[in-house]
Structures are given as C-alpha cells and as structure tokens.
Amino acid sequence: MIAGFIGLGTMGGPMARNILKNGHEVVVFDVVQKAVDALAAAGARVAASPREVAQRVDYVITMLPDSPDVERVFGGPDGVLAGLRPGSVCIDMSTIDPDTTRRIGAQVRAKGAEMIDSPVGKTADAAVAGTLTLMVGGPAEVVARCRPLLDCMGSDFFHCGDLGAGQSMKLLNNLLAQTIGSASAEAMVLGTKAGLTLDLMTRVLSTTMAWNKQLEVNMPKKPLKGDFTPGFMLKLAHKDCRLALQMAHSLGVQAPIGRATFAGLEEGMQAGLKDLDVGVMLKLREEQAGVTVRISQA
C-alpha cells in the first residue's frame, strides 16, 4: 500500500514512521522542513504540497492541529482535493469537530474518493510504540480497506459509527480526561496544603472510587516529577475541550462541569502556558496555593 502522510508533528511523525516500519511506502508533507527531513532519512518520499501527496498515493492520512488546518490542507489549488484520485481514501486522524469532518467527507466523495475519520487516544509514547487507541468513523467496507495501515499505528481499535463518529468519541474522551486531570491536580494541591503527603493521598485514593488513570499513570509520569515539557500541549487540550463544548451546545446537552474544566484551561492559556504539557495545570495550582506536590526521589 502507498500512503501519504500530512502532518509530521509530535504524534504524526512517529505514526508515519510506524507505517514505514511495517513495509508500506509513504509520501510525506509538512510545513516544518526538519520534520520532513527526519522522515525522508527514515525512507519516506517527499512531496512539495498536499496536492502532490494526493496525486501519488492510494491513501491520504492527515494529522493536523485543528479544523481550520484540515480545511486549509484539503482546499485550495495545492490542497488534497485538487490532487485526489478517484478510488482513493482519505483518513483524517486529526481531532476536529464532527461537522467539519462530514463537510470535507462530502467534498471527498464528490471527487470519487472515500473518507474516514480516525482520531487517536493515548500519548506520544504510544504513537512511537504503535499502540494508540483508534476511534474510527466511516463506512465499514472503507474502514476494512484501511485496517492494514491503521493497525500499524494502533493496538486498540474501535469502529464508532458513520463518518464523524470517531471525532465525537474523541472529543468526549478528551473533555472527560481533562476534567479528571484538572480535578486530580486540584485535589493533590489541596491535600498538600492541608498537610497530607502525596504518598498517603495516593495510597488512600487507590482504594476508593476517586482513583483514576490520571493519578495512576499520567501524573506520576510527568507533572508530579516536575516535568512540564510538551507532550500533549495545553493549547491542544484547550482546543479539544472547546470543540467538545461546541458539540454539546449543538446537541442541546448541558455541560457545566465541562465548562468549568475549559475555564481552568483558559486560565492556563492566559498565564502563557499554552505550549507546555497540559500537566502544567498542576504547577499553576501549586503556585496559587504556595505549595509543591512532587514524587519523592528518595
């Protein structure tokens, strides 16, 4: 299979590498030349535009930051749609709003091609390992055609429904994940301010319904070690929660807790933390409370 990959960032770069490692040809494009050069050194072929990628491949994969980025890459004289071949398939693995996904999907079908959405879950480490969670939307027969490529990138596969259903699943996943993460950070800071140790809090919480993957896996890995280098950047968490709340509004669903989570992320954005890992919300709460919550290095 010949795949095109557009968007070679923190997640997209490793994902494209895993397709290469599994013996598929890959044609890449990114606006960051350093990212392109790294994939070229690994054996990928290079295209000069999204249009050229689409002209040269059977499957066009996009992994981009936001809805406007996906629309820009697909549209215009140098976009994917301008070079799309009949019978090819577009796989958008970005996290964007479902309406944009469906709108672009209609444009793709008008070109005689197909489209599925497959946003991903887990971390950059999982992108490197090829063990991402894949939340897929689209016709079953088209999804089945794409499985050899999707299986290069993920180990947990879920066909969520029609085109756009993958995006819906991803948005509610990230809204819930950030809500749990924000609440967990606040609780750890509160407990520390009250004189409790992190060790005591985690031992007690691990026996109750308060326990969660943020406390078990994510926070000990980075923020509780004082590591706020970009993994999943705060600005992307902010964007995902914004899109999730837009989806809730369009469906007439009240989301007061989600709005509170978004307000906290907005606070982090205004504090200039947007390019740091979203775990930096712990540091923000620490500074406000005048305490530090860290795993003991002893």
Active site residues: 170
What is the end-to-end Cα distance of the chain in Å, rounded?
Answer: 51
What are the phi and psi torsion angles at 147 (to 5°)?
A: -55, -40
In sequence order, the 6+-apart residues with CB closer than 8 A to the CB of 234 are: 265, 268, 269, 273, 274, 275, 276, 277, 278, 280, 281
Looking at residue 298, what DSSP letter applies?
Answer: -
Contact 79, 53 (CB under 8 A): no
Instruction: Give the SS3 label for residue 8.
Output: coil
User: Residue 4 burial (CB < 10 Å; 0-12/13-18/19+)?
Assistant: buried
Contact 69, 42 (CB under 8 A): no
The full length of the chain comes to 298
Contact 114, 138 (CB under 8 A): yes
Identity of residue 5? F
Whole-Å CA distances, 279 to 11, 127, 194, 236: 17, 19, 22, 12
